[in-house]
Amino acid sequence: MFNQFAAAILLASSVLAYADVTQPVCTQTGPNTYTISFALTGDSHRVTIEASSDATGNTGRVTLLQTEQDEVTVTAGKPGERMYFFLEPDHGRGREVSIRHIALEGTPNFRDIGGYETTDGRFVQWGLVYRTGVLSYLTASDFEYLRQLGVRVVCDFRTHQENEQAPEKWVPDSGATMISLPIGPGGGKSPTASFEQLAQEHASVEQFQQLMERTYAGFVFQFSPEYARVFAELKQDHLPLVYHCTGGKDRTGIFTALLLRVLGVPQQTILEDYELTSKYLMSPDDKTVASQKLRAQVENMMKTLTPEQRQVLMDSGPEYLNAAFTAIDKRYGSFDNYRREALGVTDADVLALRTRLLANE
C-alpha cells in the first residue's frame, strides 16, 4: 500500500512539474521591434526571452527580458537583421520562434516553414527552408536582407514562358545554385484552357472547384519528377533552400504539403500553412511591385470569369490539398508508398531528413 501511495505521489509531482511553452507567434512591428505571444502549460509562470541572429541559437544569444505576461514587445538586433527568439520557461521545455512572413519589397509571399510541430513532438527548424512567389522584382534592399539567409539553392517551378516574361533574380554573387523545374505550359499540360472553356460554358462555381481539385490531384503525379528533384537537393543537405512559383500558392503549396507530410507535420497544420497564402498573396494593403504585377496578371487571365469563379481559383482552402492527398492514397495505397515510388524518398531518407530538419527544442 505504501509503495502504491508513494508511486502516486511521484506521478502527481511529475505531472505538476511538466510544462511547455506553446503556441509561440512572432510578428515584426518595426525595423527591429517584435511582438511575441505564447501560452504556458503546467506550473510554469515566467519565461526568459533570448534573441540571436543565429537560427541554431549556438552563438550570439542575448537575454532580452523575463516576463510573466503572455504577450510582449521586444527590441532586438539591427534594422534589417533576421532574428530568432528563444523562450525558456522556469519549468519545462522552451521553444524557438521567428517571423514566418518575411516582408520584402519585391515579393509578397516569402515565408519560412520553420516552427511547425510534428506528430512526435519535434519542430521544423527555422531558417532552413523557405517558400515564396515570384522573385523577379527583388530590390537592392531585398538582396541585402536575403544575403544573410545564406541560401544555397533556389528552385523555380515557373514555366519557361513565365521566366522569359519575368526573369529570375537572386542575390548577386551569392553563389546560390539556380534550378529551373518548370511545372505548367512548356513543362506539362496547363489547366488554363479548361478554365477558359468552363467560363465560355458558363459553368458553375462547383464545376470550377472540381477542376481545381482535379488539377491539384494531377500535379502530384504529373510533376512528381520536379518535386523529387527538390527532395534530392534537401537529401544532399543543400540548405538553406528556397522554392517558388509565381504566386507561391499552387505549385509551391503542393510541394510544401508534401515536404511537411514527409517531416511528420499533422495534416491540419499543413492545411493552415497553405491557407496563409490567402493572407499574404493578394492583400490590397500590399504595395510591392510583385503584388501589383501579379494582380494585373490575374486580372488579364481571369477577365472572362465572374467574381465567384475568380475566387475559386485564388482560394487556398483545404479542399485542393485534400484532393491531392486523397488521389495519392487512391493510386498508391498510402502516402508512404507515393513518396518512396514517385518522389524517391526512402525510409532511410525520411529518417535523415527529419534528423536534419527537425529539432527537439
Query: Looking at residue 92, which CATH number applies to its domain?
Result: 2.60.40.10
DSSP string, 176-228: PEEEE---STTTS--SHHHHHHHHHTT--HHHHHHHHHHHHHHHHHHTHHHHH
pLDDT tens, 154-167?
Answer: 999 999 988 998 99
Distances (CA, A) of 331 to 194, 251, 261, 324, 346: 24, 20, 17, 11, 18
What is the CB-side half-sphere exposure of residue 360 using CA atoms within 13 A? 2
115 located within any domain: no
Cβ neighbours of residue 125 closer than 8 Å, sequence gap 6 or more: 55, 114, 357, 358, 359
- Asked if 78 and 26 sit in the same domain, the reply is yes
Give this prediction's pTM: 0.89
- Asked if 141 and 36 sit in the same domain, the reply is no
272 located within any domain: yes
- Asked if 128 and 203 sit in the same domain, the reply is yes
- Asked if 87 and 142 sit in the same domain, the reply is no
**Is the pLDDT assigned to residue 242 strictly greater than 70?**
yes
pLDDT band at 253 (very low <50, low <70, confident <90, very high): very high
- H-only helix segments in 302-317: 307-314
Q: How far is CA 44 from the centre of its chain?
A: 30
Average pLDDT over residues 182-208: 61
- Asked if 209 and 79 sit in the same domain, the reply is no
116 located within any domain: no
Domain boundary among 64, 97, 130: 97
Decide which of 264 and 188 is more confident: 264
pLDDT tens, 325-344?
Answer: 999 999 999 999 999 999 99
Cβ neighbours of residue 44 closer than 8 Å, sequence gap 6 or more: 19, 20, 21, 89, 90, 91, 92
**Is the pLDDT assigned to residue 202 strictly greater than 80?**
no
102 located within any domain: no
For residue 56, the SS3 value is coil
Supply the pLDDT for residue 311. 74
Q: Are 290 and 137 in contact (CB under 8 A)?
A: yes
Pairing of the two strands 95-97 and 84-89: antiparallel
- Asked if 93 and 225 sit in the same domain, the reply is no
106 located within any domain: no
For the chain, give the mean pLDDT: 87
Can you tell me which residue has the cell 488521389?
Answer: 327
Supply the pLDDT for residue 5. 42
- Asked if 131 and 269 sit in the same domain, the reply is yes
- Asked if 43 and 173 sit in the same domain, the reply is no
Proportion of the chain above pLDDT 70, given as a percent: 84
**Cα 98 from Cα 110, distance rounded (Å):** 14
Highest mean predicted confidence (pLDDT) among 12-26, 230-244, 271-285, 312-326: 230-244
Distance in Å from the first CA to the final CA of the chain: 39
- Asked if 247 and 194 sit in the same domain, the reply is yes
275 located within any domain: yes
pLDDT band at 282 (very low <50, low <70, confident <90, very high): low
56 located within any domain: yes
**Is the pLDDT assigned to residue 18 strictly greater than 80?**
no
The closest alpha carbon to 74, from 104, 50, 53, belongs to 50
**Is the pLDDT assigned to residue 354 strictly greater than 70?**
yes
- Asked if 165 and 60 sit in the same domain, the reply is no
Dihedral of the CA atoms 233, 127, 336, 243 (nearest 10)?
-50
How many folded domains does the chain comprise? 2
Summarize the chain as % helix, strand, coil (round to 5): 40, 20, 40
Dihedral sign of CA atoms 11, 16, 17, 21 in order: positive
- Asked if 150 and 276 sit in the same domain, the reply is yes
Of 137-141, 184-188, 287-291, 321-325, the range with the lowest mean pLDDT is: 184-188
- Asked if 92 and 133 sit in the same domain, the reply is no
Structural domain that includes position 11? 2-97
pLDDT band at 10 (very low <50, low <70, confident <90, very high): very low
The domain spanning residue 318 has which CATH number? 3.90.190.10
